[in-house]
Amino acid sequence: MTRSGHPKQGPLADALAQLAATVEHLGYDEGMHQMLATARREMQVSVPLRRDDDSVVVYSGYRVQHNFSRGPAKGGLRFASNVDLDEIRALAMWMTWKCALVDVPYGGAKGGVAIEPRDHSNRELERVTRRYTSEISPIIGPEVDIPAPDIGTNEQTMAWMMDTYSALVGHTVQGVVTGKPVGLGGSRGRATATSRGAAHIAMLAMAAHGMQPEKSTAAVQGFGKVGRDAARFLSQSGVTVRAVSDVDGAVYSAAGLDIIHLGAHVDRTGSVAGFEGAEALDPADLITLDVDVLVPAAVEGVVTADNAANVRARIVIEGANGPTTKEADAILMERDVVVVPDILANAGGVIVSYFEWVQAHQAYQWSEREVNDRLEERLTAAWHDVIQYASAHGLTYRAAATAIAVRRVTEAHRQRGLYP
């Protein structure tokens, strides 16, 4: 830790460094800097679990609410063995900027439980989810903080959360979470919204840099909640997807992977590894493949100082949160590699989460076409905001996006005033 108590490296260090550079660019004073850097509320909870064999283990759970200036907090819940408080703090901060950038009336939040989902039965995951929900229930709610799925969680997790919270308050509250099954008030188009948004932003970025989809290639790191459908949407747009990876392996085909058949293989086997018609690839090598577009869509910190100099893609689309470290960012900038930041590239999920929340308040469901059209409209507007600001101020897309978002949060804070 540094003397200020900030970590020397990791996602939180990167998030704080991005904010510090933005504060300097905007000319804010130290008081405003500290207000923007400090989470409004943090909760760490014990999550005991009685396993199926009747043994008991205890996991740590977290919920961080970074900012409320523009509205209730919003952010995902992840189940992963390496979850810790600093990671959740960073992700919550990025959520604040993401919501502001795409102009949805939320602040940022994030939650997590330090558990490996693949080591647990579905019944055990239900018990963990319900216990975690009950522990954080005093600080969540449809007008307070609205969780959504993230790594290791899904629409079933959200259904359990909604049911647990509803049981605690004595009536059904569909708006307490988003990313639910459609039959329980979920939005059509929500499951693929982050992926669709990343692919849409990729098309806009390619067009802005003179690249045609039919003549372009891509590699997608991650074949889960975001990467799988991002690869499919890119392929459907004409891009040749040469490689994908997951936690168990990676596959490559110079002629392009058949993403639909690869998806069927993953459904059967649980991994991209062993897919017929493709070569096995070292997952670490995917980052430096000779492709036009790289989509890191798994976890944070995968493009680093160790591999950034060897990245051959012209454009990096950050499907994951924080996949590029601060040091790697500087290297890519020096090499004129275009990085479309996470707070823009993967904002499709929070946009459609907002649509789901609105639909819950209206007790009315939009068509999938309405959802997708409104999603692309918001992302396109945010894209143009970013490229115009970047051009006007001589900034990278990340710096421009963060500046726009931080300025909007600050304006909301100043208009509300400081209480008391």
Which residues are identified as catalytic? 110
401 contacts: CB under 8 Å, gap ≥ 6: 97, 101, 341, 343, 344, 386, 389
Class of residue 14 by CB neighbours under 10 A (exposed 0-12, middle 13-18, buried 19+): buried
Structure tokens at 376: 């692309």
Our CA dihedral for 290, 296, 301, 306, rounded to 10 degrees, sits at 0
- Measured N-to-C along each axis, helices 11-26 and 326-334 cross at an angle, to the nearest 10 degrees, of 60
**Nearest C-alpha neighbor of 195 from the set 323, 379, 62, 48:** 379
DSSP 164: H
Q: Are strands 279-281 and 293-296 parallel, antiparallel or unpaired?
A: unpaired
Can you tell me the distance from the alpha carbon of 278 to that of 185, in angstroms, rounded to the nearest whole number? 40
Q: At residue 242, what are phi and psi to the nearest 5 degrees?
A: -85, -25
